[in-house]
Amino acid sequence: MPTTTMNRIGNCKNWNQGEYKKVLCVCSAGLLRSPTAAWVLSQEPYNFNTRAAGLASDFALIPVDEVLLTWAEEVVCMGKDQASGIQELLDDLELYDPPRVICLDIPDQFKYRDPQLVKYIKDRYNEMIETP
């Protein structure tokens, strides 16, 4: 493992991040749905420590990687393809304490922070956390 990755993994466990739940939001490119979800989940009533990333490494501004998956306690995927891809990555990584993976099943048809997208994220996330 490269030294840079080891340093980033060590840093992602920094205790100064507080007791906030660490949530990684994932869509294809990490440009519209997942940044909107990260914004929504960082606000009241959730107040999570959030990051957004994309699973399509050819298009993602910030690609999902081992460090982000090690950092996260929960991964909120916008689509079933992303949830499957994340699960495959987690299986390959064999993390000691892998994050929970949630799929909101939200189509890629919204603009960044679109009010309807914000509502879908809140509604579907609340449904998912009520269902074990």
Tell me what pLDDT residue 131 has: 62
Beta bridge partners of 103: 77
Higher-pLDDT residue of 113, 130: 113
Contacts of 2 (CB under 8 A, 6+ apart): none
Which tokens go with 84? Answer: 């499957």
Higher-pLDDT residue of 28, 2: 28
Which three-class secondary structure state does DSSP give residue 63? strand
- pLDDT tens, 26-79? 999 999 999 999 999 999 999 999 999 999 989 999 999 999 999 999 999 999
Contacts of 113 (CB under 8 A, 6+ apart): 36, 39
Tell me what pLDDT residue 78 has: 98
Domains of the chain by start residue, with CATH: 20-130 (3.40.50.2300)
Please check whether residue 77 is in contact with residue 97, taking contact to mean a CB–CB distance below 8 angstroms: no
Tell me what pLDDT residue 7 has: 78
Sheet strand arrangement including 74-77? 49-54, 22-27, 74-77, 100-103
- Segment holding 40, helix H or strand E: helix 33-42
